Amino acid sequence: MDTNHSSSLSSSASQGDAVFNLDAALQRMDGDADLLNEVIDVFLEDYPNSLQQLRSSAEARDLKLVLRTAHTLKGVAGNFAANSVTEVGHQVETLCKADQLTEAISLVPMLESRVLILAEALRRHRQKEAA
């Protein structure tokens, strides 16, 4: 089931528009585009720390920290309706909760690359807004 699920995820993540859902994100900000832009800026500044924590917790095989970091990334991506990230984040979380650390860690690179793709898409959105 994992293979099917992952392939559908990666195809949706590769489509520019599917990385995050602008309408849904705006709705979450009560239609306030400025607020959304500010949230994006805070995220763009902070996400490298989360990724760093994700990598180091995976290297240290620290189950609790992998779980928490994946949970955090899932949560923050939810603000942008970025399903590509929330889905993998959720998978990592679920595997950690089931004590399947090795399987969870095997998904960490995918989670990381999804976050990078999201960050890039958000950065482009901000540039477009500024222009």
Partner 1 sequence: MRILIAEDDVTSRWLLDRVLKRWGHDIVIASSGTEALEALLSPESPQLAILDWLMPGMTGVEVCREVRRVNPLTSRYLILLTSKSDKGDVVSGLEAGADDYITKPFNQDELRARIKVGLRVIELQSQLAERVAQLEAAIAREKQLQGLLPICSYCKKIRDDGNYWHQVESYIVTHADVRFSHSVCPECANQVRQQILKGA
DSSP letter, residue 17: G
Which part of the chain contacts partner 1 (CB under 8 A), choosing from 8-16, 39-47, 98-106, 107-115? 39-47
Residue with Cβ nearer partner 1 (14 or 129): 129
Least separation in angstroms between CB 73 and partner 1: 8
Least separation in angstroms between CB 30 and partner 1: 4
Tell which residue, 11, 21, 128, 17, has the closest CA to residue 78. 21
- The b-or-e profile of 104-121 (16+ CB within 10 A means b, else e) is bbebbebbbbbbebbbeb
Is 2 a residue that touches partner 1 (CB under 8 A)? no
Is 49 a residue that touches partner 1 (CB under 8 A)? yes
List 19, 39, 51, 58, residue binding partner 1 (CB under 8 A): 39
Tell me the three state secondary structure of residue 5: helix
Is 71 a residue that touches partner 1 (CB under 8 A)? yes
Residue with Cβ nearer partner 1 (27 or 56): 27
Is 60 a residue that touches partner 1 (CB under 8 A)? no
Computed over its alpha carbons, how large is the radius of gyration of the chain?
A: 15
Which are the contacts of 87, defined by CB distance < 8 A and separation ≥ 6?
9
Matching residue, tokens 């955090």: 72
- Interface residues with partner 1 (CB under 8 A)? 27-30, 35, 38-39, 42-43, 45-47, 49-50, 67-68, 71-72, 74-76, 78-79, 81, 90
